[in-house]
């Protein structure tokens, strides 16, 4: 008589929700870290491959538009097939792009590596940001917004600072920064293998162009968050593209580490300010942060026109603090309003706005800096960003509870 023995089914071992939450936060920071890693090397690439400032701007644009393409084509994909598969695919691709950068021996390689890096970053940001809301132990939107804001600003600053350090002081400057990236992405990939899946797969993925869709219940919060991220990430884009050149001119040095400190001062003060003011009411953080951002940006404009080094550093620190707090205030208001079934979709739309803000002004500034000069370009774009930040502060002030209650009372009267 034959008998069959049924093997007991063993469940896949996974990280605890708390550790998984920390892991996806690290993925967001690492994605922003990687975005700034090539920046200190662009001068070396230009000398080696002989391309113009316009081509450099196009290389930067290739990355930004890669992110946007991923968010537009696959912004909801992690809502459909799960967060974990999307993160694994994105991290594996980012490991591959690190190798492409190591092997780059022509301008074409830079375009290819930067474009693929952008696509993978868009996938990673959409899925990881949605996972933060899924995996927080207490499902606290305010804490999720704080985490997202701190790792985004911190990752951006550390990416440029560490890359500048390696380019200036370490051997093989065109290879070693990407070796560091590869190792970090490999660690993140292993972590994603053990990540719990908070979303039940709904079917086959659809990679079709989709217009960003914001549920009506989120639109007011999304509008404020979009304004805040436009003003704050615009200064980030301007600094990533032209900040090192301005620092080199004001400080009279071509040391990569010194010129990279300006970007780190902006992003680092942004991350620190979010920790200090993370418990402020979202409307207050957005309003006061935007005013500080405007003041810092005007200080940098004056530094560019008067060649005053002290004003440059004051502007970077004050503007960076405002950048961090304004971004956090808008993000917190948005995080608390998103329905669970729309998390990846709304966060992808948020990052579409963010990457348009960080890329379009930087691209235009990169094109105009040759005919207009560095000082005039900073004056024009810095003044525009400062004016926008003041408008964001006014709009945030209008969303304070007392003003909202008064408008509701008038409507019901």
Helix, strand or coil for residue 195?
Answer: coil
Helices (H), 75-106: 77-81, 83-103
8-state DSSP, 190: H
C-alpha to C-alpha distance for 240 and 246, rounded to whole angstroms: 11
pLDDT at 198: 78
Burial class (CB within 10 angstroms; exposed 0-12, middle 13-18, buried 19+) of 19:
middle
Is 63's pLDDT higher than 70? Answer: yes
Give the highest mean pLDDT range of 36-45, 96-105, 247-256. 96-105
Give the highest mean pLDDT range of 165-174, 195-204, 335-344. 165-174
Helix, strand or coil for residue 119?
Answer: helix
Is 342's pLDDT higher than 90? Answer: no
pLDDT in tens, 217-256: 888 888 888 888 888 888 877 877 777 788 888 888 888 8
| Ordered domains of the chain (ranges, CATH) | 17-195+215-412 (1.20.1250.20)
C-alpha to C-alpha distance for 182 and 203, rounded to whole angstroms: 32
For the chain, the C-alpha Rg in angstroms (whole number) is 22
**pTM, rounded to two decimals:** 0.82
């Amino acid at each position: 008589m034959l008998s069959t023995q049924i093997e007991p089914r063993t469940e896949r071992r996974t990280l605890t929700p708390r550790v998984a939450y920390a892991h996806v936060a690290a993925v967001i920071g690492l994605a922003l870290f990687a975005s700034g890693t090539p920046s200190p090397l662009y001068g070396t690439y230009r000398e080696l491959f002989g391309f113009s400032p316009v081509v450099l701007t196009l290389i930067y644009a290739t990355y930004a538009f890669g992110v946007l393409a991923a968010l537009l084509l696959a912004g909801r994909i992690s809502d459909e097939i799960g967060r974990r598969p999307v993160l694994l695919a994105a991290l594996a691709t980012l490991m591959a792009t690190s190798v492409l950068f190591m092997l780059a021996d022509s301008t074409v390689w830079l375009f290819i590596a930067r474009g693929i890096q952008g696509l993978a970053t868009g996938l990673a940001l959409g899925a990881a940001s949605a996972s933060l809301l899924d995996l927080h132990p207490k499902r606290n939107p305010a804490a999720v917004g704080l985490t997202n804001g701190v790792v985004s600003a911190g990752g951006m600053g550390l990416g440029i600072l560490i890359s500048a350090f390696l380019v200036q002081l370490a051997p093989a400057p065109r290879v070693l920064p990407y070796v560091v990236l590869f190792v970090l992405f490999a660690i993140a990939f292993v972590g994603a293998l053990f990540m719990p899946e908070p979303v039940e797969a709904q079917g086959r993925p659809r990679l079709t162009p989709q217009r960003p869709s914001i549920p009506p219940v989120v639109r007011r919060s999304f509008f404020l968050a979009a304004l805040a991220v436009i003003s704050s990430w615009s200064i980030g884009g301007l600094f990533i593209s032209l900040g090192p050149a301005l620092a080199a001119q004001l400080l009279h040095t071509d040391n990569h580490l010194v010129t990279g400190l300006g970007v780190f001062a902006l992003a680092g003060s942004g991350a620190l300010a979010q920790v200090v003011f993370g418990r402020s009411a979202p409307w207050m953080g957005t309003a006061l942060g935007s005013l500080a951002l405007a003041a810092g940006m005007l200080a940098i404009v004056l530094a560019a026109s008067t060649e005053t080094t002290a004003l440059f550093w004051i502007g970077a620190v004050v503007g960076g603090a405002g950048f961090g707090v304004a971004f956090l205030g808008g993000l917190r208001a948005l995080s608390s309003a998103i329905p669970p079934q729309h998390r990846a979709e709304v966060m992808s739309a948020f990052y579409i706005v963010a990457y348009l803000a960080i890329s379009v002004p930087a691209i235009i500034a990169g094109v105009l800096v040759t005919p207009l000069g560095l000082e005039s370009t900073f004056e024009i774009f810095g003044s525009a960003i400062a004016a926008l930040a003041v408008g964001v502060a006014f709009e945030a002030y209008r969303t304070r509870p007392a003003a909202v209650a008064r408008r509701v009372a008038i409507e019901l009267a």
